[in-house]
Structure 1
Amino acid sequence: MEKFLKLWKRYSFTLLITFIVLGMIDLRFGFVAVICMIAPIIVSIFKGRFWCGNLCPRGNFYDNVVSKFGNKRIPPKLFKSYYFRSVMLGIMMVIFISGVYKNWGNLYGIGMVFYRMIVVTTIIGIILSLVYNHRAWCNFCPMGSLASIIGKLKGSKRVLHVSSSCISCKLCEKKCPLGLVPYNHKGDILSHPDCIQCGKCVIECPKKAIGYNKITIK
């Protein structure tokens, strides 16, 4: 399973490229986007934002492609604000629902709504990466935000354990694409609902003081 996940994280971004190309040929391929709207929500019930950091083809596109030319700045705290994210979610839902309503009965028209949503938001993510880091979009991605809220409310998810052997070198913070600070939880657990469980802090830790535990947070 770990070998498959590793391959998926490395190459699944090709699915995003394939989706964009096929959508140019036939807009009905836009309906495939439904998977990326529903899957993060389902996965969040069991594993928080695991989808975002491991299974999302667009997230893996940002990790494997955009990270090579993107900036390294941590996005502003505004992007992490649930108020800001709620506004963004509301705006996108209005655009999406109104688009589906106007094209109801027209498969090509509805497919175009899905297709346009994925393409436009992907471009926004690329632009943001030039100013901040390659995962800037993931801070307020509507589906990611919903997954974060569900994970927070449910309380049972995969969390990081930071052992007392942590030396606070801050490498984990520098590697976290969402700007979380694992070393502040030395000898404790980090159960932040926005942790996308990408594992970059685990890999980077020189003391191997960070690892994942399955813990129920009460």
Structure 2
Amino acid sequence: MEKSLKLWKRYSFTLLIAFIVLGMFDLRFAVVAAVCMIAPIIVSIYKGRFWCGNLCPRGNFYDNVVSKFSNKRIPPKFLKSYYFRAIILTVMMSVFTSGVYKNWGDLYGIGMVFYRLIVVTTIIGIALSLVYNHRTWCNFCPMGTLASITGKFRKSKKVLHVSSSCVSCKICEKKCPIGLVPYDYKGDILSHPDCIQCGKCATACPKKAIGYNKITIK
């Protein structure tokens, strides 16, 4: 299972490229983007934002391609605030819903709504990476925001845990693409709802103090 996940994380970004190319020839194909709008919410019920850090083709595109030329600066806090994210969510969902409603019954028209949404937001994510790090978009992605909210209600799940052997060397903080501070959770689970569980903090930890445990979230 771990080997399959590693392969997916490394190569699933090709699905995003295929989506963009195929959409140029037939917009009806673009409606498959609905999967990437629904799946993050479903997965969050069980694993929080696991989709964002492991299964999202666009997220993996940012990790494997965009990270090579990103500025690697942590995004400003206002981009992570729920006020800003609520505005982005409201605006984007309003535009999306309106577009689908106006084109209802026309699969090409609905496909265009999906296609335009994915292409435009991907370009925004790339542009932001030139100023900040490669995962800047993920801080206020509408689906990520909904997954963050839904994930707060999960109970007994496999989650990252920071053991008491943590020495607060701050390496994990530098490696976190979302700008979280894992060592603040020393001796506890990494319960922050925006943790995308990419595992970069666990991989970078010199004391191997960060790992997965299946425990009950109270």
- Common topology (TM > 0.5): yes
CA RMSD of aligned residues (A): 1.0
Find the aligned partners of 1:156 and 1:26 in 2 and give their Cα distance. 43
Aligned to 1:137: 137
Task: Give aligned-pair identity as a percent.
Answer: 83
Moved over 6 A (4+): none
Give the letter aligned to residue 11 of structure 1: Y
Is the contact made by 1:151 and 1:157 (CA closer than 8 Å) also made in structure 2? no
Find the aligned partners of 2:182 and 2:40 in 1 and give their Cα distance. 23
Mapped pair 1:14 → 2:26: no
Give the letter aligned to residue 209 of structure 2: A
Mapped pair 1:27 → 2:27: yes
For residues 58-106 of structure 1, give each alpha carbon's deviation from its aligned partner in whole angstroms, at most 9, with x where no partner exists: 0000000000000111111111111111110000011101111221221
Aligned to 2:70: 70
Aligned to 2:79: 79
Distance apart, 1:136 and its partner CA: 0.2
Aligned to 1:38: 38
* Structure 1: unaligned runs, 5 residues or longer: none
Find the aligned partners of 1:157 and 1:95 in 2 and give their Cα distance. 35
Mapped pair 1:122 → 2:118: no
Aligned to 1:92: 92
Change (3 A) 1:77 1:156: farther
For residues 160-216 of structure 1, give each alpha carbon's deviation from its aligned partner in whole angstroms, at most 9, with x where no partner exists: 211122121111000000001011122222211100000000000011111111222
What secondary structure, in the 3-state scheme, does the structure 1 residue paired with 2:215 have?
strand
* Structure 2: unaligned runs, 5 residues or longer: none
Find the aligned partners of 1:208 and 1:104 in 2 and give their Cα distance. 52
Is the contact made by 2:45 and 2:153 (CA closer than 8 Å) also made in structure 1? no
Find the aligned partners of 1:54 and 1:41 in 2 and give their Cα distance. 14
Find the aligned partners of 1:154 and 1:160 in 2 and give their Cα distance. 14
Report which stretch shifted further, 41-50 or 207-216.
207-216
Change (3 A) 1:136 1:157: farther
Number of matched residues? Answer: 218
Distance apart, 1:159 and its partner CA: 2.5
Aligned to 1:168: 168
Is the contact made by 2:30 and 2:112 (CA closer than 8 Å) also made in structure 1? yes
User: TM (normalized to structure 2)?
Assistant: 0.97
Is the contact made by 1:172 and 1:181 (CA closer than 8 Å) also made in structure 2? yes
User: TM (normalized to structure 1)?
Assistant: 0.97
Give the letter aligned to residue 196 of structure 1: I
